[in-house]
Amino acid sequence: MIEDMLRTPSAVRDAERYTAHNYHPLPVVVASAEGAWLTDVDGRRYLDCLAGYSALNFGHRHPALIRAAHEQLDRLTLTSRAFIHDQFADFCRELAALCGKDLVLPMNTGAEAVETGIKVARKWGYQVKKVTPGQANIVVADGNFHGRTTTIVSFSTDADARADFGPYTPGFTVVPYGDLAALEAAIDENTVAVLLEPIQGEQGVVLPPEGYLPGVRRACTDRNVLFIADEIQSGLGRTGRTFACDHEGVVPDMYLLGKALGGGIVPVSAVAADADVLGVLRPGQHGSTFGGNPLACAVGTGVVRLLATGEFQRRSAELGDRLRAGLEGLLGSGLVAVRVRGLWAGVDIDPALMTGRQACERLMDRGVLAKDTHGSTIRLAPPLVITSDEIDHAVAQLAAVLAG
């Protein structure tokens, strides 16, 4: 039988057998990729409409980034921060300039960037704002997704992310996302920061109400509180601007960055802020052996230089309009809601038709890879190198799935 000749079934079985079940992946086993396309172990091609949750904004194996990685692999990969290497200053300087900030603190994963932001905000609160010792608090939003460390899940409202991982870390106040009055009421004399995603990705690409982010900025300025923007998924070109905050002209005190910063090659994250914020750290108070390593810096600098041209931001904005038009054309034909910002879409399927998981499985069968989130919602986040014809193809396959 043909099934006996395929490599996918056994590879899926082995993955299930030998790994902890902390993910529920689609049963596709990828062997190679280029641009916006993946090829599985049996030679079948798929259009990637997830892009590694935005880690692959520049597509698979972007030539400039692969070249930077190869050149660095031939010279130096790790020193630790005990020494300075020749890629470090360029990466930090150019990323700081892209963010419009004084300083950058490189780390590895998005969760590490969030943890770093929390630590810096607390230290700033005690040293600069002079909040009561041991009483610093941070205001966050419900529906948030900032990572899965024990501290971060302590302020998650997602039962799957939070349940059975207590005792939970104190020091966080959760308010409804988009409710400016609730946020303002939650700020007290010991509040050191407001930590928000400008767009909630894991929640289903939930956009804030118009005027919300400027209102948060004003509240933080008026109450001497840091505004920390988690742009790990939304930043670096995904939404048609360099940062999602740019859509409303908002400049946070601190950017948390990751995913696309590593070019889909290595894990790279960073915190960017001015010297009066990041300057509170002193040697020995925070660090990472691999944070800012030479390979990460070489690739990260390549990413920053791609963004500095503005090409990818423009592509995301223009192609995002095409994606929006295609998806909105399916409203009433199986879709009940669509939320789009650049090349990032949350698509709510009529739950009477199918779940989000079922929709993604059926899209996979038609050669398109996407990811479900809560209930009947799926997320579309193709690489920014996708073409208009490929967007039309993805929308057509979704239409076919909805039509049954």
User: Can 259 be counted among the known catalytic residues?
Assistant: yes
Task: Give yes or no: residues 187 and 260 share one domain.
Answer: yes
Q: Which two tokens stand for residue 186?
A: 């939650």
Which of these three, 279, 308, 337, is where a domain ends? 308
Q: Is residue 70 part of a domain?
A: no
Q: Where are the alpha helices (DSSP H) in 125-249?
A: 150-153, 159-162, 180-186, 212-222
Residues 107 and 227 in one domain: yes
- Residue 4 binned pLDDT confidence (cut-offs 50, 70, 90): low
Segment 265-294, tens digit of pLDDT: 999 999 999 999 999 999 999 999 999 999
Residues 133, 254, single domain; the answer is yes
Q: What is the pLDDT of residues 352-370, one digit of tens each?
A: 999 999 999 999 999 999 9
pLDDT of 2 above 60: no
Q: What is the pLDDT of residue 5?
A: 81
Q: Rounded mean pLDDT of 228-234? A: 99
Q: Which of 40, 48, 230, 348 is catalytic?
A: 230
- Secondary structure of 276-339 in the HEC alphabet? HHHCCCCCCCCCCCCCCCHHHHHHHHHHHHHHHCCHHHHHHHHHHHHHHHHHHCCECCCEEEEE
Domain extent, residue 197, equals 76-308
Say which CATH number the domain at 338 has: 3.90.1150.10
pLDDT at 318: 98
Decide if 360 is inside a domain. Answer: yes
Collapsed DSSP state (helix, strand, coil) of residue 134: coil
Task: Report pLDDT digits (tens) over 175-211.
Answer: 999 999 999 999 999 999 999 999 999 999 999 999 9
Q: Do 225 and 214 share a domain, yes or no?
A: yes
Please identify, among 308, 333, 356, the residue that sits at the C-terminal boundary of a domain: 308
> What are the pLDDT digits (tens) for 384-401?
999 999 999 999 999 999
Residue 257 is part of a domain; what is its CATH number? 3.40.640.10
Q: What is the pLDDT of residue 3?
A: 58
Taking the C-alpha atoms of residue 138 and residue 282, their distance in angstroms, rounded to an integer, is: 22
230 is catalytic: yes
Residues 299 and 322 in one domain: no
Residues 324 and 302 in one domain: no
Q: Are 152 and 180 contained in the same domain? A: yes
Based on the fold, state whether residues 242 and 353 are members of the same structural domain.
no
Read off the pLDDT of each residue in 165-170 and give the average, rounded to a whole number: 98
Give the N- to C-terminal CA distance of the chain in Å, as an integer.
28
- Structural domain ending residue among the three candidates 255, 283, 308: 308
Co-location of 142 and 39 in the same domain: no
Lowest mean pLDDT among 196-200, 232-236, 340-344, 371-375: 371-375
| Residue 352 counted as domain residue | yes
Indicate if 145 belongs to the active site. Answer: yes
pTM for this prediction:
0.97
Which of these is catalytic: 58, 88, 91, 145?
145
Distance (Å, whole) CA 399 – CA 253: 42
Give the chain's mean pLDDT.
Answer: 97
Domain identity same for 82 and 216: yes
219 touches 188 (CB < 8 A): no
Q: Which one from 172, 259, 290, 312 is the annotated catalytic residue?
A: 259
Q: How many domains does the chain have?
A: 2
Extract the tokens encoding 109.
């994963």
- Contact assessment for residue 104 and residue 139, using Cβ atoms and an 8 Å cutoff: no
User: How far is 307 from 116, CA to CA, in rounded Å?
Assistant: 24
Q: With pLDDT > 70 as the criterion, what percentage of the chain qualifies?
A: 99
- 295-343 pLDDT per residue, tens: 999 999 999 999 999 999 999 999 999 999 999 999 999 999 999 999 9
